[in-house]
Each structure stands twice: as C-alpha cells, then as structure tokens.
Chains A and B, each alone.
Chain A
Amino acid sequence: MANAQLPILEARNITKRFPGVVALNDVSIQFMPGEVHAVVGENGAGKSTLMKLLAGAYTPDEGELFFQGSSISFNHPREAQEVGISIIYQEFNLLPERTVAQNIFLGREPSRYGVVDQRQLMRQTQAVLQRVGAETMISPDAEVKTLSIAQQQLVEIAKALSFDSKVLIMDEPTAALATHEVEILTRLIHKLIANGMAVIFISHRFTEVFDLAKMITVLKDGQHVATVAADAATPSQVITMMVGRELDQYFPELARADEIGAVALEVVNGSNAKLHDISLKLRAGEIVGVSGLQGSGRTELAQAIFGVEPFTSGRILVKGTERPIKTPKAAINLRMGFVTEDRKAEGIFPNQPLNDNILAPVRALQALLRRIKRFGTAEKPQLVLELVQQVDVRTPSIQQEVQYLSGGNQQKVVLAKWLASTCDILIFDEPTRGIDVDAKASIHEMIRDLAQAGTAVLMISSELPEVIGMSDRIVVMWDGRISGELPAGAGEEAIMHLATGHQESHRTAVPEPRGEGTLEL
C-alpha cells in the first residue's frame, strides 16, 4: 500500500468554535488509505471535535473537507456514512434496550418494502461479528444492556465495520479493553489496512500508538502541532509536542514528607455490588491518584466513599472515627467533596447562575427555610466573589448561567462549589477531562495548593501522565478491586500492568462490570 496515491480524506484549514472555546483552529491533515493514522493530544486538544467533524456530526465554521480529492460537506452523520466514513465514538453510542443486530444496522436494516428481513439481518450481523472475531462471544439478538463493556466496545467496532467504509475513525477504542481484547483489535486493524482502509485512531496508550500507527498527528489546544512518521519519532518527543514543555516541569511539586499529615479517611474491606474488599488510607495533605481502565471501578470507588452507591459491607473511618456514609449529604456533612467526572450530568446546574451553583452544597446543609444570602453565607456574605477570584473563573458576571461558560470555567465552578463548603477530604474524578491546557494547568495547581493547605485528595484519572505527575501515591484498580499500590513517579508500564489485572493471577478473566454505572463513563 503505497503513499503514491492521493489522500482519501483531507481536512484543510478547519476551524470550529464552541461557546467559550476555539476547539479547532485552522487544522489541516491528510489521511492516506491503507495506513493507520494516530491522532494524539491531551484531552481538550480537539481530537474528538476533529473526529466528529470528519464523521459529519459537526459542521466546520471555516475550512473544507476533501474526500478522494473532491470537496465535501456533511449536514448529517448519515451523509458521511454514505460516502464511506464510519466512526466509533469515545462514549458508547448504543441503545441498551435494543438487540445487537438492531443496533449494528440501525437505519440500514435489510428490508423489502420497509419490512425488515429478519433472517438477512441475523446473517449479516453474524458476518460482521465474525469480522471482529466476536461471533462466539456475542449473539446477534442479545440486548445490548446485557453485554459487558468490552463486548459493547466490540459491537461498536462491528457496527462501524458494517458500513464497509473506506475510512474508519476510532476514538479511544481500547480504553475499555483488556490486553487480549486489544490484541484482537490490533489484528483486526492490520487486516483492515491490508484491504486499503484508512484507520484514524485516537489513543492515550503510546505503546499502541507506536505499534499501530504509520503517521502520528499531534494536536494541542486546538492547534495542529505536527504530523510525524511513527518510526521517525520517540514517545518523549511526541509528549513534548503534546504538552509543549518537558513533562517533568509540567506538574506542580509533589508533597514533601513533612506536608503529609494524619489519616483523614480510611476504608476497610469496603464492598458492594461493583466493588470487592476495598481498603485504602488517605492522609491530610497528600494526593492519592487512582488509575484503572474504564469499567475497573474507579468511579464506583468514589461513589461508594461519597455515599452515592454506598458500600454494603466494610467500614469507613473519617479522622479515625467510624462513620456510616449512606447519602451524599452525610458525606458533605463530614466535610467531604466530590468533583465528578461528568460535569454536564453530575456537576453543574446549567440553567442556574454561577453563585447558586457554587453555594448549592453549603445551602443543602442549612435549614430548608433559611433565608439565602445571594453571594455567600451569613458568615461570609462575599464568599462567591472570593472563590471566583481564587479559582479564577472567567465570567462577565457571577449571575451568569453556567451553561454559557467554557468547559474549563465550568470545572472551576464545580471546584469552587466544594471549596465553598470548606471540605478537608476532596475526591476528584477526571478533574481535567475535556478542558484546555492552561485551564488544566491551573486546576492542577489548585489541587496541589489544596493538598498543601492540608486537604486530603483522592484523584481519579484515566490520563497516566496526570496520575503520574500529580500523585504522591498511586492506587491501581482492576475489576472492582485494588490491584496494587505504587509510589510517586511510578512508570506507565507498571501502572498498565496492574490495570490490566496482572500480578493478581486474573490473566484470563475479562473485566465485566455491568450496568449503568459504567455506561456513564
């Protein structure tokens, strides 16, 4: 498969703006048939936006797309599918109530006069499942909600392949997969490019990126930094391009021994439907990073500690005394805070002004009929103003509805919300997902500042650089268990090793956390 031929898909000077952020700024990339093209960059660098543009889910504000040399524009994802571009989105795009077959061929059911040909549908589905080597694992008429995360990921891939498209876009396809499933995928991708398909591929796992990709494009902060041949670059170079500086300067100083204080939170043998025998200690002044694959139980851990999906057995000790935490309110009462992963779904009240967002937890603890102070509490009437200064939210007015703020500023609001309720135990779940670099840096600063001020911080992150750079200790989860703990500065490999269930003799098993909890991730 030579590069002689012209690019099958090309983006020229694409710009896309969203309220508050320029997601992509004048980006130009060429994608060649028959090769894997990896797109890397930090969260918020604009990768997913680019993919959605290529797949017709968004339309660019400026710039053009070219398919096989001719200019095209999509007003509806369908149009992209029709020319032969299919995509696997980062967040799952399946209907849990419908069967595998119905999902894969949604909108393209084989039919005569509008009547679906069931047998044909089943046969085609079988065929597609075979292509991803999942025909034994997954039955075409199984309802998707009954499948494990990994299986659902395979269905997504099968769906994408079913278009027989010339370009396949994969947004973090391996995030949820255990190693041997990743191998299946790798083999699959090799087969595809052998047939001349162009595969565009987003991943945070540099091992994969360098195994698979021929070309690597680096995005940063919505800008196209560079496109390099994989064999002409080293991971560290790419990382440098991604973050724009050397990794080790990128994160704030770790805690000095004398900064770490008494145990603030301790979980002993905590278990519930999704978690098994969790034990961990969290000290005042330290940041404990939690790593693990999607579906490994990272978020469930946070939810259990915070009383959203409480532990059904085991004990929680706060500052040495045992406390039952069955509701978030109870947790907040114990001066805990939880900066959730999914801002839109769990963090903000989009239609409410900034000040009400920030004061929500404070007020939740007050008497229901207590008269409100608009911008603070009885003690600190100016609290909101102070916090907005402190976390540096860029907003025209503190009466602004938060739906009109950029992702980064929204995240700062969520953070301010917990600062307002003066927590001394703070849980962060993906604190910097989907926000641009400088906002990211300042949030990292804040988290560290909080720790130095004596707050005990539990930080869940799927971004290894973040975990490695921020954590004073690293806890790795797999299959609802804590599969190991690593000291500050542990390497990516060591973490991935634990995160994929090794050292725990679970080699064969597939992580199978089921149900909504994981679908939200």
Chain B
Amino acid sequence: MAQLSTIGQEKSWRDRILSGLRSVSPIYVVLILLLIGIGTQNPVFLEPSGILNLLRRAAPLMILTAGQLFVIVSGGFDLSVGSIMSLTVIGASLLINNDPTNAWWVILVLFGIGIVAGLINGALVSYLKVPSLIATLGMLLALRGAGLYWTGGAPRGYLTDNFRAFGRGWLEPVPWVERFPYAVIVLIVVSAILIYLFHYTNLGRQLLAVGDNPRAAKLAGIQVEKMRIVAFAVSAVTAVIAGILQGGFGGVNPDAGDGYELQAISAAVLGGAVLLGGRGSVPAAIAGALALEALFTLLNLLGLPKPLRDAVQGLIIIGAVAYAAFSGRRSR
C-alpha cells in the first residue's frame, strides 16, 4: 500500500482502486450478511414492513451511535448518554404531567437539559482536563441519580400519545408500505443532518483534526477545547432524541437508557471508528448500530440462548477492532 502510494503516477490508478476498496467500510458487508441470515431464517423480516420494524426498533441506538461518533472521532468517550436517555424519559413523564398540550415545550426543555449535560461533559474534559472516561462516568452516575431524585424514585406521569407518537406513531397511508413509522422519519432526518454536519461542513473536518493530532490542530488555528465541547453537546442531543424515541416506543420506564452507552461505543467501533480519535464515518457508525441490532434479531431467530448472544457480541467487537488495527499496521 504505502510503497505504491509513493512509487509515483504510473501506478496510481491501481492505488486509487485499492484505496477506494479500503475506504468502503467492511461493516456494510457484515450488515448485508446479517440481513441475508435473517432472511433465510424468516423472510417476513425482509418484507418492507419487517425492515421498517427493524429500523424503528434500531432507531434510538442508530441515532445515539451517530452522536457518539462525534465524541469518539474527537478523541473521547461519552459514557453518560444512557443516563441522559433515562433522564429524558423520566423528565418527560414528570413535566408533561398527563397534559398533551405540555408535550411541545417539554421537548424543548428536555433538549435544554441534554445540551447543558453535554456542555458540562465538554467543559470538564476541555477546561478541567478530566479524562473523558472519568468525566462522563461521573456524569453517568450523577445523572442516573438526578433523574430519580427529581421524581422521587419512579416516573410521575404517563407519556401522552402526542409525545409518544415520535417513537410509536405511523404516517399513513403510504404507497408500497401502507404505514411508515415516524421513528424512521426521525432517524432519516437526524442521520441526514449529522451526516451533513460531519462530512460536508468544517465541523466534521475539524473534529477529525482534533482527534487525529490535537497539537497540530491547535497550531492550524482550530479551537480544540471548543470543538470537544461541541462534540459532547451533539452526543448529548442525540441522547435526548434517542430517549424520546425509546420512551415513545416503550412507554414510561425509569431505566430506558441503561447500558446504551457501551452499545453505542461498540456500534461505532464496529462501524470502523477508531477509539482515541482521527477516524470515523457517520454512515458507517449508523450501519454498525443497525448491524448490532440485526445481530441480536438473528441470534434471537436462531433460538440461541440469550447469554451466548453477549459472548458472540464480545467476540465480534474484539475481532472488528483487531481487524482494524491489523489492516492499519499492514498499510503502514
């Protein structure tokens, strides 16, 4: 690889193809394999409605992962997102107070809370120089407690239907598939926005730069601290969205987001993101999340005892990263 790149123009077409191949993340192949696997088990799942169901179900994790990627790429972790999701659901049930008309301003408030949490994460990492692992771990504990302390231990009200519509409702009638989940629309919109931000604006390029070489980034005039804070804010916002979808899909539930933080990180890594920064792609990360969800579904269909699903997940994650590390070393 490396040799080719420097031997000069005459070989460059070959290099282009190779680098082209390299740039296609293997996660898409894995995803397709998994979907085929699901199909062979039960074709129903590959009918439009089945796919939409899978997407609707995976939407929270996919969105969460896309947000997590912003942090990972800039060289950090965000462990606090799961707690933010739960906090969103609990907060909504308290604030909406069974009155549908409240839903709209409540959603705004929730985003406010999320953004504040994200800014705190970012400030801790950027200015107090607390390692993101510890900072967000602390936030994970603190926010988990805060939500329940706020409501005295259990959610206080129902989530009204208009609030839940995002996670549960459908757009209908729709040609081909008679009904189209709002959750998937949200997924598409949010993904589109995040993909645009990350791949088509300065923001994404600067995050990559910060994660790849913070010192060089500073010397190139990039405001490293500010970028990190932005990354955590984005991640927190996606957590709120994921929380709204999750709460909408499942209803009130004090621990709607538990364990999502590690799933999101795993998914992003499956999508080829490199921990400690510098590499990553939003579409691939989203594909990683979908692949993880598809994997669960497949193992489920196979009637594989639930515990072993964890084991398989563990092996796949290690494998994916080892593969990345390996191909990385190879090309250097």
**A contact residues vs B (CB 8 Å cutoff):** 19-20, 306, 308, 327-329, 331-333, 338, 340, 345-352, 356, 359-361, 363-372, 394-397, 399-400, 403-406, 409, 417
Are A370's CB and B221's CB within 8 A?
A: no
**Binary per-residue interface labels of chain B (40-52) against chain A in the complex, 1 for a CB within 8 Å, 0 otherwise:** 0000000000000
Q: B2 is contacted by which of A329, A345, A346, A404 (Cβ under 8 Å)?
A: A404
Closest to B203 in A: A368
Contact partners of A345 in chain B: CB under 8 A: 213, 215-216
Contact partners of A404 in chain B: CB under 8 A: 1-2, 5-6, 331-332
Contact partners of A348 in chain B: CB under 8 A: 213, 216
Are A350's CB and B213's CB within 8 A?
A: yes
B222 interface residue (CB < 8 Å to A): yes
Q: B221 is contacted by which of A356, A364, A369, A400 (Cβ under 8 Å)?
A: A364
Given contacts A348-B213, A404-B5, contact A397 B19 (CB under 8 A): yes
A328, A338, A409: residue with the most chain B Cβ atoms closer than 10 Å: A328
Closest to A363 in B: B202
Please give the distance in Å from A346's CB to the nearest CB on chain B: 5
Count the B residues whose beta carbon is within 8 Å of the partner chain — how many? 39
Question: For chain B residues 190-204, which have a beta carbon within 8 Å of chain A?
Answer: 197, 200-203
B15 interface residue (CB < 8 Å to A): yes
B36 interface residue (CB < 8 Å to A): no
Q: A360 is contacted by which of B16, B220, B274, B278 (Cβ under 8 Å)?
A: B220
Given contacts A404-B6, A409-B6, contact A396 B12 (CB under 8 A): yes
B179 interface residue (CB < 8 Å to A): no
B183 interface residue (CB < 8 Å to A): no
Please give the distance in Å from A324's CB to the nearest CB on chain B: 16
Are A396's CB and B202's CB within 8 A?
A: no
Contact partners of B331 in chain A: CB under 8 A: 404
Tell me the complex Cα distance, A20–B200, Å. 31
**B contact residues vs A (CB 8 Å cutoff):** 1-6, 8-9, 11-12, 15-16, 19, 197, 200-203, 205-206, 208-209, 212-213, 215-223, 230, 274, 278-279, 331-332
Given contacts A329-B221, A360-B209, A397-B16, contact A367 B202 (CB under 8 A): yes
Contact partners of A417 in chain B: CB under 8 A: 220
B12, B16, B203, B205: residue with the most chain A Cβ atoms closer than 10 Å: B205
Are A396's CB and B11's CB within 8 A?
A: yes
Given contacts A19-B3, A404-B1, contact A372 B202 (CB under 8 A): yes
Are A372's CB and B219's CB within 8 A?
A: no
Please give the distance in Å from A403's CB to the nearest CB on chain B: 7
Tell me the complex Cα distance, A348–B218, Å. 12
Contact partners of A370 in chain B: CB under 8 A: 201-202
Closest to B196 in A: A371
Contact partners of B230 in chain A: CB under 8 A: 368
Q: A352 is contacted by which of B2, B209, B274 (Cβ under 8 Å)?
A: B209
Are A400's CB and B278's CB within 8 A?
A: no
Given contacts A19-B332, A394-B6, A400-B19, contact A351 B279 (CB under 8 A): yes
Closest to B13 in A: A396
Tell me the complex Cα distance, A361–B221, Å. 6
Contact partners of B215 in chain A: CB under 8 A: 345-346
Tell me the complex Cα distance, A366–B279, Å. 22
Tell me the complex Cα distance, A379–B121, Å. 38
- Which applies to chain B's interface (DSSP): helix, strand, loop or mixed? helix
Q: A394 is contacted by which of B8, B274, B278, B279 (Cβ under 8 Å)?
A: B8
Are B223's CB and A20's CB within 8 A?
A: no
Tell me the complex Cα distance, A350–B201, Å. 20
Q: List 26 contacting pairs A-B, 8 Å CB cutoff, sorted by A.
A: A19-B6, A306-B219, A332-B220, A333-B221, A345-B215, A349-B208, A349-B217, A352-B208, A356-B208, A360-B205, A360-B221, A363-B202, A363-B205, A364-B202, A364-B220, A368-B201, A368-B203, A368-B230, A369-B203, A370-B201, A394-B8, A396-B11, A397-B12, A403-B332, A404-B331, A409-B6
Are B15's CB and A396's CB within 8 A?
A: yes
Contact partners of A332 in chain B: CB under 8 A: 220-221
Taking A345-B213, A368-B203 as known contacts, 4 extra A-B pairs with beta carbons closer than 8 A to each other, sorted by chain A number, are A329-B221, A345-B215, A346-B213, A369-B203
Tell me the complex Cα distance, A363–B221, Å. 9
Contact partners of B218 in chain A: CB under 8 A: 308, 328
Given contacts A356-B208, A395-B5, A397-B15, contact A338 B213 (CB under 8 A): no
Given contacts A19-B3, A351-B212, A395-B5, contact A360 B222 (CB under 8 A): yes
Tell me the complex Cα distance, A346–B216, Å. 4
Please give the distance in Å from B269's CB to the nearest CB on chain A: 16
Tell me the complex Cα distance, A360–B8, Å. 25
Closest to B230 in A: A368
Contact partners of B8 in chain A: CB under 8 A: 394, 396
Are A369's CB and B201's CB within 8 A?
A: yes
Contact partners of B11 in chain A: CB under 8 A: 396
Closest to B4 in A: A396
Given contacts A329-B221, A417-B220, contact A368 B206 (CB under 8 A): yes
Tell me the complex Cα distance, A188–B129, Å. 45
Tell me the complex Cα distance, A277–B331, Å. 48
Contact partners of A333 in chain B: CB under 8 A: 221
Q: A346 is contacted by which of B205, B219, B274 (Cβ under 8 Å)?
A: B219
Please give the distance in Å from B10's CB to the nearest CB on chain A: 10
Contact partners of A19 in chain B: CB under 8 A: 2-3, 5-6, 332
Tell me the complex Cα distance, A366–B3, Å. 36
Contact partners of A327 in chain B: CB under 8 A: 221, 223
Closest to A367 in B: B202
Contact partners of B212 in chain A: CB under 8 A: 349-352
Closest to B208 in A: A352
Please give the distance in Å from B279's CB to the nearest CB on chain A: 5
